[in-house]
Amino acid sequence: MGKGVFMSKSLAIAIGVLTVSSVCGVVAMLVVYRIQIARNPPKPPPTLQTTTPIPTEPPANLRLPDHLIPESYEVFLQPYLYVELPDNSTEQSFIFKGNSTVRLKCVKNSKSIFLHVRGLNVTDVRVTSTDFGKVLSVSHYEIHQNESNFLEIQLEDMLLGNGSRYELFTAFEGELLDDLSGFYVSQYTVKGKEDKEEVRFLATSQMQPTDARQVFPCFDEPALKAVFNITIIHRPKTTALSNTKGVFKTIDGEKWHVTTFSPTPVMSTYLLAFTVSNFMGKGGYPSKITTYARADAVIAGHADYATQMTEKILNFYETTFGLKYPLDKLDQIAVPDFSAGAMENWGLISYQESGLLLEDDTSSNFDKEWVATLIAHELAHQWFGNLVTMRWWNDLWLNEGFATYMSYMGVEAADWNLKDLIVLKEIHSAFQVDSLNSSHPLSLPESDIETYSDIIELFDDITYSKGAAVLRMLSTYIGEEEFMNAIKTYLRKFQYMNPVYKDLWECLQEETKKDVEAFMSTWTEQVGYPVITITTQTGEISQEQFFLKQTEGHGIPWQVHIIYFKSDSMQVNEYLLKDKGPVPNPNFQVGKDEWILANINCTGFYRVNYDDENWNKLLMQLESNHHVIPVISRGQLIDDAFNLARAGRLNVTTGLSLTKFLKNDTEYIPWESALKNLDYFILMFDRSEVYGPITYFETYNENGTVPEKHTDQYNQVNAITVACSNGLPECLSMATSLFRQYRNNTNPIHPNLRRAIYCSAIAAGDEDDWEFAWEEFQRATVAGEKDKLRYALSCTKEIWLLNRYLQYTLDPTKIKKMDVVSTINYIAKNVAGQPLAWDFVRGQWSYLTQEYGAGIISFNSLLDSVTKRFSTDFELQQLKQLQRELEEKDHEFVTRTLEQVIERTEANIKWVTENKQIVLDWFSGELKNY
């Protein structure tokens, strides 16, 4: 089917809907959702209760002292868990026992050893001098009951700092909880004998950022890399996996199996992984790659696509990065309960099931894209993060920015033409957060990141998306080829090491003549980004920090690399703006009928504003022939105009008028950009009288044929979503009729359209429809299909159903713990559900933080979503009230997010007050033309 068939020609005012952003792919962050409960509020630095003077100071903060360097560990772990309960037993055991021997080199005299442990009972501690084969007597050991998680060991004898070697042995016991962190238990059901549902268990792990210490006492900081010799003792008929290859033997008759893994390369603790399950693997010799999942899923072929993609992307990276993947195997495992989207553990990558498994009949093309993108991200980490690791969490953006940026090249290599979408998916979201004064710089001083919540708050859009955006900008600035050459050098030079970001600039500087450090420090060391203003009459150009809510700017001017062309010559030029300006430059002057377009393809991380005349000329150009302006820039002009208007720098009607050319444009990027921005109008006005005139005209492809091109498929989903949610009768009757067929018989809905159509049908439907979808949700075995239904259930307009659904999120037998946040977020997107979700979150705050605190919930994402619509003074007061309450209770962990949503709400209040009438008039005026 050709282009444009499903996009109406008569489309007048395109208005986005609340659902758009969620329909367009799961923008899940690869975040370890974990919040510290204020169970152990931070205390002052530990002090030693010893009277003997000792040469080394106790740690001055939450970081380990530097007198001991771990070189290698020997770790035994024995989980007592049964993956399947034996016939005549109901006894399950969630205990694990183990011991660890770590070889240490001492570089400063000391009588103490500090390392990390949390949630384990340490039953034995022994220290031996390797050089003399002598056991040292331990005078005292204790676990600090504060946020340091220190296991402090005091010795009678001195550890000699002349490079002498010691061995520290610890024995310990722990518990496998269902808390999704450390070594934990996950469960799922299978069809057992006579089709009865039976429960199965597995033990699995998630360490990032600081949970390896929950599995065995260790020096749990990324720079303290070591070799790990792991042995797992497990029940018969189970498979144990870890980072490297294992060989197993049987001991104690048939009672236990012992799997011994070959020594790992030198690596960080947060990348360790262990699983014990009866999963089935697919792939393997002669390939390095094996995909593990529930046996029924593997047999049904659900892991096949992932395996193929992995092969392709891994090969591409090996060539592109100029270094072979260094391990002798690469396992990927689909874990039924997993808090992050995926985790890049070296040699054993874990995924949520929806991130790895696909079923032909139910998976949409977007599900496939998600799997490919996630694999590309995690595989990029095998180099960026695993081989070369940031020294401390303050430079997390080096890991995540690179993995995010490279993943767009990785999926491109796997035949997904998505490279340009980085602008929508990363850059636009980074622009949003970073236009708040309460944002943070990409790179913070090491000493600013100390506590668990400091670390966890870094897993945000700045780290991932702005990180990727500035790397893309840098690559354009110095040239893609030079950039990749320097990256190769960087990887080779720092493999198995822990560089800081300045080491990267050095490699880049050697490759090019440009002063990379001077350029990049303006982008990484300060918060925010600039807006460039070009006045085409005078050719003056200037920069200023872009704020959604005007605040006093600060800091030094950015080095802004401007790529631009003018309509007469269409010659692409570049210019480096270093000053605040205004700087006069005749190159930025235009002729009478000429316009200028800057930041072509949005390669720079900044916005551009022009004088009204140039905006008008661009507008006319778009309406007469939009092809003259590149696709990405068409999307960018829309995003810039709307956001400049939100910031009060441009008349909002300019943004609205800019969407009018879309009736002739069938490309996804400009459309999505417009829908996302119009989504803001809906959020601001859907509870007010302005909403009526914001009407929508749209048709859609009625026979449901799915277009070939991937981004056209996105358009199709957008079209349906927009049409149905605005109550277009044809759309609603199509959705309800398809859903009725599904209820009566078999599901006729194309997987691509299920999310949108289920949602529309539930929204238009009654309680029976909801109950049907709820049963289908419980019955579904493929994670992707389950997610579509779980989303659709949030679309009902019935308040009592929404309230009951919210209650379900507190019951893990109904909604898995890992799905709680996204379910509440879905409900909050629904205009009927939003106040319910907000009341629910506030009302259940204590319960949620207690029950779901550790390892599961991103309270940051929750708070961000339930307050997206906030634009009244009353709501602002409620937020401030919450802020006071949390301050009193010492809940440190959402501090920054709370500041951000308060700032956003204040900006919204101002914007709504100033623009309500203008928007109302504009829409009424446009409507008269139809």
Q: Number of H helices and number of E strands within the chain?
A: 29, 27
| Residue number with CB closer to ligand NAG (177 or 527) | 177
Based on the shown chain and the rule CB under 6 A, indicate whether residue 103 belongs to the binding site for ligand NAG. yes
The contact pattern for ligand NAG, residues 777-816, with x = CB under 6 A and - = no contact, is: ----------------------------------------
| Residue number with CB closer to Zn ion (18 or 30) | 30
Among positions 240-279, residues that touch ligand NAG (CB under 6 A) are: 263
Least separation in angstroms between residue 234's CB and ligand NAG is: 11
The contact pattern for ligand NAG, residues 116-155, with x = CB under 6 A and - = no contact, is: -----x----------------------------------
Q: Are 542 and 608 in contact (CB under 8 A)?
A: no
In the bound state, the residue with its beta carbon closest to Zn ion is 30
How far is it, in rounded angstroms, from Cα 759 to Cα 463? 32
β-pairing verdict for 330-335 and 348-352: parallel
Residues 6 or more apart from 86 whose CB is under 8 A from it?
A: none
- Asked if the bond preceding 209 is cis, omega within 30° of 0, the reply is yes
Among ligand NAG, Zn ion, none, what binds residue 837 when CB lies within 5 to 8 Å by partner kind?
none
Would you give the DSSP letter of residue 467?
H
457 given a catalytic annotation: no
| Residue number with CB closer to ligand NAG (117 or 757) | 117
H/E element, 123: strand 121-129
How far is it, in rounded angstroms, from Cα 82 to Cα 623? 66
Q: Are 143 and 109 in contact (CB under 8 A)?
A: no
Q: Choose the stretch contacting ligand NAG; rule: CB under 6 A; options: 171-179, 392-400, 457-465, 759-767.
A: 171-179
Q: Are 357 and 306 in contact (CB under 8 A)?
A: yes
Q: Which residue has the tokens 């205390």?
A: 43
Closest alpha carbon to 426 in 470, 485, 482: 470
In the set 378, 776, 875, 892, the catalytic residue is: 378
| Residue number with CB closer to Zn ion (289 or 403) | 403
Out of 21, 40, 56, 72, the residue judged to bind ligand NAG by CB under 6 A? 72
Q: What is the DSSP string of 550-614?
A: -----SPPP-EEEEEEETTT---EEEEE-SSS-EE-GGG---TT--EEESGGG-SSSEEEE-HHH
Whether 84 has a binding-site annotation, put simply, is no
Out of 390, 470, 590, 631, the residue judged to bind ligand NAG by CB under 6 A? 631
Based on the shown chain and the rule CB under 6 A, indicate whether residue 74 belongs to the binding site for ligand NAG. yes
How far is it, in rounded angstroms, from Cα 736 to Cα 477? 52
Based on the shown chain and the rule CB under 6 A, indicate whether residue 84 belongs to the binding site for ligand NAG. no
What is the SS3 assignment for 768? Answer: helix
Among ligand NAG, Zn ion, none, what binds residue 76 when CB lies within 5 to 8 Å by partner kind?
ligand NAG
How far is it, in rounded angstroms, from Cα 546 to Cα 550? 8
Q: How many residues bind ligand NAG (CB under 6 A)?
A: 30
| Residue number with CB closer to Zn ion (406 or 674) | 406
Based on the shown chain and the rule CB under 6 A, indicate whether residue 101 belongs to the binding site for ligand NAG. yes
Q: What is the DSSP string of 44-89?
A: SPP-----S--SSPPPSSSSPPSSEEEEEEEEEEEE---SS--TT-
Based on the shown chain and the rule CB under 6 A, indicate whether residue 88 belongs to the binding site for ligand NAG. yes
Least separation in angstroms between residue 124's CB and ligand NAG is: 8
Among positions 909-928, residues that touch ligand NAG (CB under 6 A) are: 918
| Residue number with CB closer to ligand NAG (260 or 858) | 260
C-alpha to C-alpha distances, 922 to 678, 695, 919, nearest whole angstrom: 14, 12, 5
Q: Which residue has the tokens 């996105």?
A: 714
CA dihedral 467, 471, 477, 481 (to 10 degrees): 180
Among ligand NAG, Zn ion, none, what binds residue 78 when CB lies within 5 to 8 Å by partner kind?
ligand NAG
Q: Choose the stretch contacting ligand NAG; rule: CB under 6 A; options: 316-324, 425-433, 609-617, 629-637.
A: 629-637
Based on the shown chain and the rule CB under 6 A, indicate whether residue 601 belongs to the binding site for ligand NAG. yes
Among Zn ion, ligand NAG, none, what binds residue 174 when CB lies within 5 to 8 Å by partner kind?
ligand NAG
Least separation in angstroms between residue 610's CB and ligand NAG is: 15
Least separation in angstroms between residue 173's CB and ligand NAG is: 4
Q: Choose the stretch contacting ligand NAG; rule: CB under 6 A; options: 84-92, 142-150, 393-401, 754-762.
A: 84-92
Q: Which residue has the tokens 């850059």?
A: 427
Out of 18, 29, 30, 738, the residue judged to bind Zn ion by CB under 5 A? 30
Among Zn ion, ligand NAG, none, what binds residue 403 when CB lies within 5 to 8 Å by partner kind?
Zn ion
Among Zn ion, ligand NAG, none, what binds residue 30 when CB lies within 5 to 8 Å by partner kind?
Zn ion
| Residue number with CB closer to ligand NAG (171 or 583) | 171
How far is it, in rounded angstroms, from Cα 354 to Cα 371? 8
Q: Record the tokens describing residue 458, joined without a space.
A: 């870094």
The contact pattern for ligand NAG, residues 562-591, with x = CB under 6 A and - = no contact, is: ----------x-------------------
- Sign, CA dihedral 609-864-823-17, equals negative
Q: Assign residue 858 a region (left: φ > 0; alpha: ψ between -120 and 50; beta: otherwise).
A: beta
Closest alpha carbon to 847 in 898, 810, 878: 810
Q: Choose the stretch contacting ligand NAG; rule: CB under 6 A; options: 29-37, 132-140, 628-636, 895-903.
A: 628-636
C-alpha to C-alpha distances, 512 to 475, 486, 559, nearest whole angstrom: 11, 9, 17
Among positions 652-681, residues that touch ligand NAG (CB under 6 A) are: 653
Out of 25, 174, 499, 833, the residue judged to bind ligand NAG by CB under 6 A? 174
Based on the shown chain and the rule CB under 5 A, indicate whether residue 866 belongs to the binding site for Zn ion. no
| Residue number with CB closer to Zn ion (403 or 423) | 403
Based on the shown chain and the rule CB under 6 A, indicate whether residue 632 belongs to the binding site for ligand NAG. yes
Based on the shown chain and the rule CB under 6 A, indicate whether residue 99 belongs to the binding site for ligand NAG. yes
Q: Choose the stretch contacting ligand NAG; rule: CB under 6 A; options: 97-105, 152-160, 326-334, 857-865.
A: 97-105
Angle at 665 between CA 662 and CA 666, to 5 degrees: 120
Q: Are 271 and 344 in contact (CB under 8 A)?
A: yes
Q: Choose the stretch contacting ligand NAG; rule: CB under 6 A; options: 86-94, 390-398, 810-818, 857-865.
A: 86-94
| Residue number with CB closer to ligand NAG (92 or 653) | 653
How far is it, in rounded angstroms, from Cα 295 to Cα 189? 11
How far is it, in rounded angstroms, from Cα 554 to Cα 540? 22
Q: Record the tokens describing residue 531, joined without a space.
A: 């807006």
| Residue number with CB closer to ligand NAG (176 or 333) | 176
How far is it, in rounded angstroms, from Cα 451 to Cα 63? 9
Q: Choose the stretch contacting ligand NAG; rule: CB under 6 A; options: 67-75, 318-326, 486-494, 864-872.
A: 67-75
- Asked if the bond preceding 582 is cis, omega within 30° of 0, the reply is yes
Among positions 389-448, residues that touch Zn ion (CB under 5 A) are: 400, 403
How far is it, in rounded angstroms, from Cα 503 to Cα 517? 10
Whether 381 has a binding-site annotation, put simply, is yes
Q: Record the tokens describing residue 773, joined without a space.
A: 């979808």
| Residue number with CB closer to Zn ion (30 or 719) | 30
Least separation in angstroms between residue 601's CB and ligand NAG is: 4
| Total number of residues shown for the chain | 930
Q: Are 283 and 289 in contact (CB under 8 A)?
A: yes
Angle at 550 between CA 547 and CA 552, to 5 degrees: 95
User: What residue numbers does the annotated binding site cover?
Assistant: 377, 381, 400
Which amino acids are annotated as binding site for Zn(2+), given as ranges? 377, 381, 400
Interface with ligand NAG (CB under 6 A)? 72-74, 76, 78, 86-88, 95, 99, 101, 103, 121, 173-175, 227, 229, 233, 263, 420, 572, 600-601, 630-632, 651, 653, 918
Q: Which residues bind Zn ion (CB under 5 A)?
A: 30, 400, 403
**Would you please indicate which residues are annotated as catalytic (active-site) residues?**
378
